[in-house]
Structure 1
């Protein structure tokens, strides 16, 4: 009698056995090839969502496949546990962030284990415990000693509701990404890491990642780093400012257009603005405009489609080449963080300047003409930004614009008005956060000694857990005397601890290294483990982390390398950026009521069916639209495999995967035997390519489904003889083996039921027999005037004249040729013979 498929009991059973036998534990072993596969670790928000399940299912298939290939696989898990979401949630629920976080971790760990992921849980890392963050405090001290960490005042995005600085990417349409409050600019003294010291290396090393990283991610990183080659040029002020400033310094990549500069644009934050408007009757209007612009999202300000707005300061500067009196404006699209915060405006040859000049009726001067054309500023509908020849440019007329760049800079350089330069879009990393739930920055402030780093032997500086969070979100640390008051590490007098905590990107910038030996207590890393396991071979995560997290991780590796801790240059050899899981075409969210819970799905269908659907519904790099009918389909496939094994388990010898031979096929003497063995080995090859090389898990599963169909079609005939049963058993074992990375519990149970004593999770990947990939015969159909009249089983390399002769000799073809004239016979190799008669 057929036994029903019970995923809950089967999955719990095999998860227990795998853990008991330590199947997924790995050790440093230089005698074996290693493979380090890693998914971006989750934030312990409370529950695993279906997007988590997708990314960890992708990683688990790779981990299991590589293990079967003979690799020593490191597949760890941990928790990105600090940060504002936990703090806000804890405040909302009236609990402590630590209690909230650890309770969520316990819940999410159980959820992940329920999915059957092949993780080495001994290596679990939690970033909010002192045993972890003590080491990043040590890194900070070493960075400070080397000059990579420093403190300065700078305007920052500030959320009044969350009471903290926000990264540019956390400001959306001028509002806080988390609470929707209006973001303002506030000058704050903050701690920075000098990531710009590595700008050139970060840019150059992207070349080494092109083979393993998605092209769009590499491009996004290049754009973010933003190397620009040009020159600094000085424009004298018509009247020196009150503080003695006599000129405006700009950076430009287009010195060839300097003769066409007709006005100057300043950022709203530029310190010269206030100097220029002191005696202007328009001063208050300029200040109001600047305030408005400062409180606008910086990314929005830099967008190409941003509506251009500005206000005239009332002041002028002088073009160093033409002597033109240029009005100085404040413009909303100029950012203080890029270049010098001042832009020489060339409206005829820069689109943003063109739009601005058109709006405010400012002058345009053409200085580059395209070949064979003459531009008229009055008739132009857009800026001309392509190459050409200089005009209206004095002694430089007639020069190609690219050649003129260097000549103009050299000319101005001789007058101390210019200097060649390289600038970067990349800015140093602000790691200060004015919130409680984060790693303390290990410095103190002494009235006598100034800024003093904590002594290494005093690490970790522990975040106190006996404090009460504030309902308004402000950090309680500045008012908590037991933490703030501490002796100066240098002179011993009373000092004050830094109460800002570190940006949580710091924790996530090195966690993957700690996994190599998280049990180390006297040092951050075990050198032998580092040398063996790092860098990560395959990293998997969302494209939303394509810039900051990946860039900061790359910086951390290079900085730690230069401190002598690491011997590699890049953290992640290969990167897979998976798409989101959608519901009805939209992103899942609680507010939309379209969230799919993995717990509900596993309770109803089992973890294997959920894994199968998440991997089968779409290629990993694309968004996946959750479908109730899709998960039902995956569940039916899982049940179909179960029924097949239940039917065959008492009738088959326990052969290994790819265990049959050509002699078995010959002895069976059945076309079903040859066809099934061929399909078996084609499937092995196809699944290996799709999982290990292409990451096309959907087509790999489809190939297994085809093999299952072939097994069903041939099983009855093959069971009639011992040799046929061996061919069938081999194919069934192969099917379970290559499907095991996707549905591991089902396949492990079926494997056991077939009589195998060893664990499938520890079995090797089957070896392809090249001879089995070649079919002994192919089927070619024969048509007469487009209608099927015969089928021919022939050798794959049959000659064209031979197969045409065979086709015409077929009795049923002869019947339809009777009394007719053959006009032509066409052979489509391997598929079709078409006979046209009249």
Structure 2
């Protein structure tokens, strides 16, 4: 038999699968479908790294197994190709982003095909293809028509390096998620999507999907639903009312001062009343230099300035309380004003101690001079007028009723979630299909004119003034109003790369449809996605955004399910051999092409699945790769000695049924590492007792989802009938997974001294006889008296001696 040569074998079978369209999915009503989904990659210039194949292989394994089980599998791949990295690379190297994108996609596709994934390439999509982004623009127009897309001048997170505004979700630790630059604040007119209108439904929907708990927790925390009350604080000697949201209205009597955001309108509206306005202006100027993250960091030193001359009136008791500004209060969260209850809030307590502000406890217990009360959920109300003596929960409800009755506030629900900043002042993105007319305002272009394509430009560099490079393309910008026919201007901002990725899974179901984003029959058959695997870093970005878009499309009758994804799992990263995150700067990046060239795609797939627990990050190991290659060579060598046989032999039957059971379970639970370990044990057994055709068939089918090329080749070489990809998944018999013979420990005075082998159904007498006949029994009882013998069937033998 020839030597194992992955380069020849793998190319042969990849060509075979392409030629025969082995993995093509079609709508087949009546046949059970399975829709696994992996996050489509951003085709960067660096190409794939070894982290990409890990999640792809895991779901490829499940997809292959489900096909063998007779399910109609739609497993797909495409390109999330708009956005900053390509544009930045294009600017640096003076190459058009479209050319860069085409080159990168070609390389990515070549790499993915070399790894043998069972993608249906006939469904390939590309977010930069006008035939695709026509429908991205169409969805935006529906959002606009429903009042869910609006333009507003607002403070944004501005990245001075990328020269764009960032959504809150794209700012990590006060820095741009993409380039790491310190984020600044600017006021820019931005398109916004009203995701907050779906906050409750995004929360409620989590109760009906099979997402891993960390994903649900992250989404719930990001949405940040808080139930409480909005309370109205009058400002003395003015008509101004400061509205404050609190989840603890029961502590209102303990509010001894107020804090508003430095940007709050009260400063501008009442400058003439503020006695220390110069000090206030100086403080505001310092705050403007800080990011939101820096301002709200809990560990930092508390800073602030009193608005001398302005007093708030506590609505509970009418007392005058000072109003301060401080950087930790943001205009973009809540109302931009808080009531401070220093006796029962640690941050308020620290602020009050620093600036010598009153501290009044309103829940019994503790010493407010020593520390803040951290736990205020137990205890009874004190110093609180009509609430005195009540428990906390009763007092909350009573206070809400009281302020509502008096017109001083009302019950309210707040969210941390903010509307989605949807504008990008860059070139490489979907044009926003709206024009502005002086008479008609913002007007959508007619749907029959979609797609509105990006114009060809010579200069696509970002501008310092915050405008998109498209603003300079006058012949494109100047147009006529679709409504009145008068001169109008196109919107020059483009969409973020999150736009195309918010609905791509729908386009996979019907990628060539020119009449709709996908046909009704395809959507009703294939949706929802049954299993979506992706990175935890996308939980509060892509995953939340796409759930929002999907719910909107459901509301307007485009899709047939309210949730896009039934199941969501996540994976750990593959780290460098040094245990650090792979990066070019560290010099520890592994190119999968190198591994495929040296050892073969099946070796890479096997290693990435055997490397460790799927959900955990693990360091790369060249020795581990070599070990997996040796395992496949042992599998290859088994083929030389396959004996005839159409049934499992007695010496292998139990093990074979156990292996079918374990491998099938492990694949479905993303535990391919332990499934591979079981298959390695099978090779060990076959090398001891030989292997027949029936056993080898089953073994090859079980290994095939992990290592599809070598198994197809061995099936062909051994002439096992047809092609492996046409076979069915083996079935195990529960009864035959149980060993007929078991090992039973024998203990003397409570300590295990040896083990004996017994038939599973051995009687007490048979167990005692076998124990007595073992030479170890005589050693343990020599010179001693046996007082008692006990047999717990199938578990243990116990001997008491003295």
**TM (normalized to structure 2)?**
0.95
Counterpart pick for 1:224 among 216, 222, 225: 222
Task: Tell me the residue number matched to 1:349.
Answer: 344
Task: Tell me the residue number matched to 1:664.
Answer: none
Task: Tell me the residue number matched to 2:739.
Answer: 775
Task: Tell me the residue number matched to 2:23.
Answer: 24
2:588 counterpart SS class? coil
The unaligned stretches of length 5 or more in structure 1 are 662-672, 716-724
Shift in Å, 1:430: 1.6
**Aligned residue-pair number:** 797
Task: Tell me the residue number matched to 2:185.
Answer: 185
Task: Tell me the residue number matched to 2:714.
Answer: 750
Superposition pairs of residues 204-353 of structure 1, within 5 angstroms: 204-209=204-209, 212-240=210-238, 245-278=239-272, 280=274, 282-314=276-308, 315-353=310-348
> 1:592-643: CA deviations, max 9, x gaps?
1111111111111111111111111112111121111211211111111112
Shift in Å, 1:380: 2.9
Whole-angstrom CA distance in 2 between matches of 1:485 and 1:781: 88
Task: Tell me the residue number matched to 2:456.
Answer: 465
Counterpart pick for 1:516 among 503, 509, 525: 509
Q: Is the 8 A contact 2:174 2:293 kept in 1?
A: no
Superposition pairs of residues 10-409 of structure 1, within 5 angstroms: 10-46=9-45, 47-209=47-209, 212-240=210-238, 245-278=239-272, 280=274, 282-314=276-308, 315-369=310-364, 374-409=365-400
Q: Is the 8 A contact 2:219 2:544 kept in 1?
A: yes
Superposition pairs of residues 488-503 of structure 1, within 5 angstroms: 488-503=481-496
The unaligned stretches of length 5 or more in structure 2 are none
Q: Is the 8 A contact 1:238 1:316 kept in 2?
A: yes
**Cα 1:139–1:169, aligned 2, differ >3 Å: closer, same or farther?**
closer
Is 1:731 equivalent to 2:695 in the alignment? yes
Counterpart pick for 1:695 among 670, 676, 679: 670
Shift in Å, 1:818: 5.8
Counterpart pick for 2:418 among 427, 431, 434: 427
Stretches of 4+ aligned residues off by more than 6 angstroms:
471-474, 783-791
> 1:530-586: CA deviations, max 9, x gaps?
000011000011000111211111111110111111110101100111111111221
Whole-angstrom CA distance in 1 between matches of 2:459 and 2:718: 59
2:35 counterpart SS class? strand
Task: Tell me the residue number matched to 2:637.
Answer: 643
Is 1:660 equivalent to 2:636 in the alignment? no
Task: Tell me the residue number matched to 2:650.
Answer: 674
Q: Is the 8 A contact 2:366 2:373 kept in 1?
A: no
1:249 counterpart SS class? strand
Shift in Å, 1:801: 4.3
Q: Is the 8 A contact 2:425 2:462 kept in 1?
A: no
Whole-angstrom CA distance in 2 between matches of 1:64 and 1:582: 27
Deviates more, 1:353-362 or 1:817-826: 817-826
Whole-angstrom CA distance in 2 between matches of 1:816 and 1:142: 84
> 1:243-267: CA deviations, max 9, x gaps?
xx52211111111000000111112
Tell me how large the CA RMSD over aligned residues is.
2.2
1:320 counterpart SS class? coil
Whole-angstrom CA distance in 1 between matches of 2:75 and 2:680: 28
Deviates more, 1:110-119 or 1:579-588: 579-588
Shift in Å, 1:478: 0.3
Q: Is the 8 A contact 2:245 2:335 kept in 1?
A: yes
2:731 counterpart SS class? coil
Shift in Å, 1:165: 0.2
Whole-angstrom CA distance in 1 between matches of 2:280 and 2:184: 17
Task: Tell me the residue number matched to 1:670.
Answer: none
Shift in Å, 1:800: 3.4
> 1:29-52: CA deviations, max 9, x gaps?
012100001100000112011111
Is 1:713 equivalent to 2:677 in the alignment? no
Is 1:621 equivalent to 2:615 in the alignment? yes
Counterpart pick for 2:435 among 444, 451, 457: 444
**Cα 1:383–1:684, aligned 2, differ >3 Å: closer, same or farther?**
closer
Q: Is the 8 A contact 1:192 1:430 kept in 2?
A: yes
> 1:747-774: CA deviations, max 9, x gaps?
1111111112322123110011234213
Task: Tell me the residue number matched to 2:575.
Answer: 582
Whole-angstrom CA distance in 1 between matches of 2:525 and 2:584: 43
> 1:279-325: CA deviations, max 9, x gaps?
54533433343344344332454444444322222222111112222
Q: Is the 8 A contact 1:790 1:810 kept in 2?
A: no
Q: Is the 8 A contact 2:169 2:540 kept in 1?
A: no
Task: Tell me the residue number matched to 1:764.
Answer: 728
**TM (normalized to structure 1)?**
0.91
1:501 counterpart SS class? coil
Counterpart pick for 2:447 among 425, 449, 456: 456
Task: Tell me the residue number matched to 1:685.
Answer: 661
Q: Is the 8 A contact 2:425 2:468 kept in 1?
A: yes
Shift in Å, 1:802: 3.2
Shift in Å, 1:817: 4.9
Q: Is the 8 A contact 2:463 2:469 kept in 1?
A: no
Shift in Å, 1:796: 0.8
Q: Is the 8 A contact 1:263 1:328 kept in 2?
A: yes
Q: Is the 8 A contact 2:79 2:125 kept in 1?
A: yes
Deviates more, 1:303-312 or 1:563-572: 303-312
